[in-house]
Amino acid sequence: ASAVQVKLAAVITGHGDDNNGCGEFCVTSHHFVVNGHPHVITFSEAGTPLGCANRVRTGVEPNEHGTWVYGRDGWCDGRE
């Protein structure tokens, strides 16, 4: 137990679906507990009409013949 720092990298794309048929266009939250402290990441822009279009300045690439504009669950086209 001599670790001073640990970095967690989670790649959450929204691809696939759950038992309700909900995939990349549904709001989800992801819960992590580190040293007893909860951390929650929520992708609330999923399913919004301009969720990814509003993020062009952060690296989102306009493409896919019009579907790129919609908010997605944890990702947008061209964004790392």
Give the Å distances, CA to CA, from 60 to 12, 14, 21, 24: 16, 16, 26, 16
- Please give the average per-residue pLDDT across 72-77, as a whole number: 84
pLDDT digits (tens, 9 = 90+) for 24-65: 888 888 898 988 999 998 989 999 999 999 999 988 888 867
- Torsion angle in degrees (nearest 10) through CA of 76, 65, 16, 27: 50
Instruction: Report whether 29 contacts 42 (CB < 8 A).
Output: yes
* pLDDT recorded at residue 78: 78
* pLDDT recorded at residue 17: 78
pTM: predicted TM-score of the whole model, two decimal places: 0.70
Question: What is the pLDDT confidence band of residue 9, given thresholds at 50, 70 and 90?
Answer: confident
